[in-house]
Amino acid sequence: MNDASPRGGPTAITRSDDGFVVDAAVVAGKLGLAPDAFWREMRRGIVYGVVERGEGDDAGRVRLTFRYRARSWSVTLEDLAP
C-alpha cells in the first residue's frame, strides 16, 4: 500500500485494492469548499474525480484530478508500479 501526505500532514491518499481512498476534507479545502458543500456537490455530480494512469516513460505514475466548476486540484503519485 502506498500513501501520500501533502506537506507532511496526516495521510490524505491511500492506495487500496479497488483504487484510491482520498480524504474528502483535503479535497474540499483544495477546491475552496466546506466539507458539507463538497458532499452535496459530489452527490449532484458537480464535483468529480478523474484517474489517469501513466504509460511508457510515465509508467508507475498516477494522476488524480478533482474538479468543481472552473476549479481543479491534481496530485501525481509516483512509484506505483504493480
Domain coordinates in residue numbering, the chain: 3-77
> Could you report the per-residue pLDDT of 5-43, keeping only the tens digit for each?
444 445 688 888 888 889 999 999 999 999 999 999 999
The full DSSP string for 36-51 is HHHHHHHHTTSEEEEE
Single out the residue of 33, 51, 53 nearest to residue 43, CA to CA: 33
Distance of alpha carbon 1 from alpha carbon 32, whole angstroms: 29
- Three-state DSSP class for 73? strand
pLDDT tier, 49 (very low <50, low <70, confident <90, very high otherwise): very high
Distance of alpha carbon 70 from alpha carbon 20, whole angstroms: 24
